[in-house]
Every structure is written in C-alpha cells, then in structure tokens.
Amino acid sequence: MAKVDWTQRRIWMQPAVWSYLLFSFDGRISRLPFWIAAIVLNIAAYFGDRLAFDIGGNPASAVIGLAFLYPSLALAAKRTHDRGRSELYLLVFFLPAFLISFLQVLGYMEDGAGMKAALVVLGIAVLASMIVLVIDLGLMPGEAGANRFGPNPLD
C-alpha cells in the first residue's frame, strides 16, 4: 500500500484502508493503525459473538470467533512485519485460541466433561499469549528503516 498518513481522520472513512488492514497480509503498519483497527475489530467480534451465542450457543459463537480469526491474523501479520518477524511468529500465539474455538464447534465446551483441565490450560495459554502480543505488537516500536517486508511506515 502507498504511504498513508494515518493521523488524518478522513483516511478511516475509506473502504480500501479497512480492506488493506483486515484482509491483506502484505506490508507493515505502525502502532496507531494497529490499535485503531484492533479496537474496532474486537468490538465487532464481541457483539458478533454475543449475538451468535444468544442464537446458537457455543458452536455458533465459535464460528463467529473463527470468522474473525482471518482479519485478526492479517492485522497482526502486518504489525509483526513492522517488528521484523515472519507471520509464523503468530502461530504460537493464535494456536491456543484456535483450539478453544475448535473445541467449541465440536461441543466440548457445553458440559466440559473430562475436558476441564485441558480447557483451563488452554485458557491460561490464550491469556498469556494475548498479554505477550499486546506488549510486542501494541507497545514496542517497529524496526527503524526498511526491512524485508517493506519501508518503515513512519518514514
């Protein structure tokens, strides 16, 4: 994507910007667009999850969670690129969340019979991974200058 001034309010009204942020795995983004898109994405995911849960319980809620996985990965991948890492870095962090959603779809979250210990471990892994991701992607600055994923978005 061409150089974008993320501080301009009008930029957020352009569908192409949201398409790039949520559906493209290419390039780099700085912390400001990451935080704005992450907040909007998480609010939409929360309300989608609540609505799906009310309609169809845990399996429907899990399907919504899986639907929001792709845009979350796309957004995090661009921020990971800014930090100088490959998308594979995210696999470690998103795998526990994916496993919980998969177990929800299969119905293991309904009664948790025989799965309580595994679900607790997965829940702790998801919490720990999200804390690490917030610190790494949300608070740490990107690499100075160009890297193998593109030019510095702040230059």
- By mean pLDDT, which of 80-84, 112-116, 124-128 is the weakest? 112-116
Give 68-86 pLDDT, tens digit per residue. 889 999 999 999 999 999 8
Residue 44 burial (C-beta neighbours within 10 Å; 0-12, 13-18, 19+): middle
- Contacts for 117 with CB less than 8 Å, ≥ 6 apart: none
Return d(Cα 23, Cα 103) in angstroms, integer: 25
